[in-house]
Amino acid sequence: MLCRCGAPLTMRLSPDRRGWIVAALGTAQTVGWASSYYIPAVLATPMAASFGLSPVWVFGAFSMAMVVSAAIGPWAGARIDRIGGRGVLMLSNLVFATGLVLLAVAPSPAVLFAGWAIIGLGMGMGLYEAGFATLAGIYGRGARGPITGITLIAGFASTVGWPLSGLMLAQWGWREACLGWAILHLCLALPLNALLPTGTETKPEAEPDTAPDAPPPPRGAMALLAFVFAATWFNATAMAAHLPGLLQAAGASTALAIAAGALIGPAQVAARVLEFGLLRRFHPLASARMAAAAHPVAAMVLMAFGGPAAYAFALLHGAGNGILTIAKGTLPLALFGAGGYGQRLGWLNAPARIAQAAAPLIFGAALTAWGLNAIWLTAGIGCLATLALFLLRRG
């Protein structure tokens, strides 16, 4: 059986071909992130202008998509627990493509919002949480390495996505750019997800939640983790939306602020390489605690030294954010085991998606009202997240 692009759908990668599985899933994840999370930065302004709207409306539609993804995430995770992740990931590619095509042909703002709502469904079914759950079904507790691997690859989603969206926009227009991403889902991401193992190889329901000689996670561990994920996603999204303005409020020039912001991506990838190498010897809690503390430390450096510390702030924040992305997959696996992992991950990340949707508005208002002192908001949230991680113990 072949897809329209000629890719074989009957081939399967065996679980022992770990490198190929990571490469396939990581590439599919890159397409998913680049065609959803990262397209508003490039396409929101022309998209809004074609309807005579302010770009705020498009970003509002994108925020709605993240709320939709939060609602669908637990269902998608439970489905992956039962039948494996391959089918859910393939379905997400079809959903993504449908939403993107709807954006491309939208005759009115109402249809545009409907397209973003469908993309939100795809985000809840096809981004990191679904990928992590799929790997947990294949490798059980041994999924930490593969989870790190796919975040290493998909960490370049903005590096690939922004220029490609910009190129399609310049050559053809924003509607054609949406169609281009839909085609990439159907002809690249879908066949790659079809190559994955089913995702039920380890029978995680039979795996004990904790090792025999380890204490169980404390009561309230789910609530603590949900708070940590929401807090760190809030900070990451707030910085993604307002970092240049924050650094300029600290005294950095526009050129310096942009140059410092460009370091966040490489810092994230470098930190993930560190997690893949040195830090994998330690429990995920250790690296998560260190990573959560990175943003508050970066904030203190920026407050103390102002604009000249822009590079240090970007490097510290980016490195911490890079490791925390991995921790969102590895911490629940280490604390609770692989049984029910997908649904648990969906519930844990639902508040984080809502925090993501609210972060640009809340931090933007704080930055306008308080200037550089707005950094105390995210620094305080980061300190609370670090404290919550210290209240957890190894499972």
For 171-187, how does the pLDDT look when each residue is reduced to its tens digit (9 = 90+)?
999 999 999 999 999 99
In this prediction, residue 346 has a pLDDT band, given cuts at 50, 70 and 90, of confident
Query: What is the rounded radius of gyration, in angstroms, for the C-alpha atoms of the chain?
Result: 20
> Does residue 186 contact residue 5 with C-beta atoms inside 8 Å?
yes
DSSP sequence for 221-251: HHHHHHHHHHHHHHHHHHHHHHHHHHHHHTT
The token pair that represents 60 in the structure block: 């509002």
> Does residue 185 contact residue 93 with C-beta atoms inside 8 Å?
yes
Cα–Cα distances in angstroms (integers) from residue 52 to residues 47, 48, 57, 60, 124, in the given order:
9, 6, 10, 15, 30
**Average pLDDT across the chain, whole number:** 85
pLDDT of res. 341? 83
DSSP sequence for 59-110: HHHHHHHHHHHHHHHHHHHHHHHHH-HHHHHHHHHHHHHHHHHHHHH--SHH
pLDDT of res. 5? 53
pLDDT of res. 209? 45
Q: Looking at per-residue confidence, does 205 or 336 come out higher?
A: 336
pLDDT of res. 125? 93
Domains of the chain: 18-206 (1.20.1250.20), 221-391 (1.20.1250.20)
**Whole-angstrom distance, CA of residue 230 vs CA of residue 350:** 8
Q: Which of 61-65, 208-212, 329-333 has the highest mean pLDDT?
A: 61-65
**Whole-angstrom distance, CA of residue 143 vs CA of residue 199:** 12
Cα–Cα distances in angstroms (integers) from residue 179 to residues 117, 208, 265, 279, 391, in the given order:
17, 45, 27, 41, 47
In this prediction, residue 208 has a pLDDT band, given cuts at 50, 70 and 90, of very low
Write the burial class of residue 229 (CB in 10 Å: 0-12 exposed, 13-18 middle, 19+ buried): buried
> Does residue 372 contact residue 249 with C-beta atoms inside 8 Å?
yes
DSSP sequence for 12-51: ---TT-HHHHHHHHHHHHHHHHHTTTTSHHHHHHHHHHTT
What are 32-77's pLDDT values in tens digits?
Answer: 999 998 888 788 889 999 999 988 898 889 889 988 988 898 899 8
The amino acid at residue 385 is A
pLDDT of res. 362? 87
**Model pTM score:** 0.81
pLDDT of res. 1? 41
Q: Which string of b and e fits 248-283 if b means at least 16 CB within 10 Å?
A: bbbbbeeebbeebbebbbbbbbbbbebbbeebeeeb
Residue 220 predicted with pLDDT over 70: yes
In this prediction, residue 340 has a pLDDT band, given cuts at 50, 70 and 90, of confident
Q: What is the mean pLDDT of residues 211-235?
A: 77
The amino acid at residue 34 is A
pLDDT of res. 219? 65
Which of 31-35, 94-98, 210-214 shows the lowest mean pLDDT across its residues?
A: 210-214
Q: What is the DSSP letter of 127?
A: S
Phi/psi at 2 (5° precision): -125, 145
